Amino acid sequence: MGLKEVVDVGGGVGAMLNMIISKYPHINGINYDLPHVIADAPHYPGIEHVEGDMFDSIPSGQAIFMKWILHDWNDEQCLKLLKFCYNALPDFGKVIVAEYILPQTPEENAAARNASRFDVLMIIVCLGGKERHEKEFEALTKRAGFASFRVCHQAYIETGEGKRGQSCLHRRHLQFKIMIKFFVAS
């Protein structure tokens, strides 16, 4: 049958979803975000922009995608979001999440150090937000009702040297190496 519909929760103006739909034009996309965000979203072929608040509801879809959403929120808020996802999915639907995943034990590599830095950043910027270990994500998905959880892919991103005025992460001219892992709950 194949994947025919993806809902991007907190998808901003739809840029990430547009990358997916551009590569897989047979997929219909729903970009879901707050009204003031959707107001600035450009038209993309194959994407419907839907206004709403993810803490009130999530549109139904065959697959639900969230990139860098869960790390903004505490465990109870994440559980609420994941339960909304669970209820919005059909049988055999999947939620696909892209997040930094902290190592269980401290590791001496750039990706682990930067995941830890982002954990501190989430604590400072997002009250209750945090990066999580794989086991923490697995426990949240199980509590939300999902039967299975697996880390299915990881992407390694390396930024160039930052310049003054770019973003708070680059003010010290650090080179960031970030390991992003994708997990699927179904």
Confirm if 62 and 5 have CB atoms less than 8 A apart: yes
Confirm if 144 and 95 have CB atoms less than 8 A apart: no
Distances (CA, A) of 111 to 116, 137, 161: 9, 19, 16
What are the φ/ψ torsions at residue 110 (nearest 5 degrees)? -60, -40
Nearest to 93 by CA among 28, 7, 27: 7
99 is catalytic: yes
131 is catalytic: yes
Exactly one of 131, 153, 170, 173 is catalytic; name it.
Answer: 131
User: Distance (Å, rounded) from C-alpha 32 to C-alpha 84?
Assistant: 13
Confirm if 8 and 28 have CB atoms less than 8 A apart: no
DSSP state of 17: H
DSSP state of 38: H
Taking the CB of residue 102, how many other CB atoms lie within 10 A of it? 22
Exactly one of 5, 51, 76, 99 is catalytic; name it.
Answer: 99
108 is catalytic: no
Exactly one of 71, 107, 133, 161 is catalytic; name it.
Answer: 71
Which amino acid is present at 76? E
**Residues catalogued as catalytic:** 71, 99, 131
